[in-house]
Amino acid sequence: MNPIPPISTIPIEGLGTPLQGLPLEVLGFLSIAVIAACAAVLWMVRHADQVRERLRCPLRLRRATVTFRVAEDGTRTDVVRCSLLRGRREMLCDKVCLRKAAVA
């Protein structure tokens, strides 16, 4: 029977004989974790100026989840996405909820 090959390691200077290096599997896992953390941070930075809110649409009189773009002072400036207009790139509703939020 052939012997099981040893786990591949990357040698690190200064480590004693019991620990000759880091296994490649650990390095692969760490690199995937770092990439996932970077992607999460980039997503949060990109969406930092948006806030999501559930409200009643004043035009269609139905519950909707609306994503607003907000200014630095917290005022809503634009409607980015609405759950009632799925699949449509244009806001055809005249953004009545934006004006109602500005008054309230």
Enter the pTM of the model: 0.56
How does pLDDT run across 39-86, given as a tens digit for each residue?
Answer: 999 988 888 888 888 989 888 889 999 888 888 888 888 888 888 888
Q: 58 by DSSP, 3-state: which?
A: coil
Residue spans per domain, the chain: 9-46, 50-103
Q: How far apart (Å, rounded) are the C-alpha atoms in residues 100 and 4? A: 70
Amino acid at 67: T
Per-residue CA distances from 47 to 40, 69, 96, 103 (Å): 11, 9, 23, 24
Interstrand relation of 9-11 and 76-82 (parallel, antiparallel or unpaired): unpaired
Token pair recorded at residue 23:
């296994």
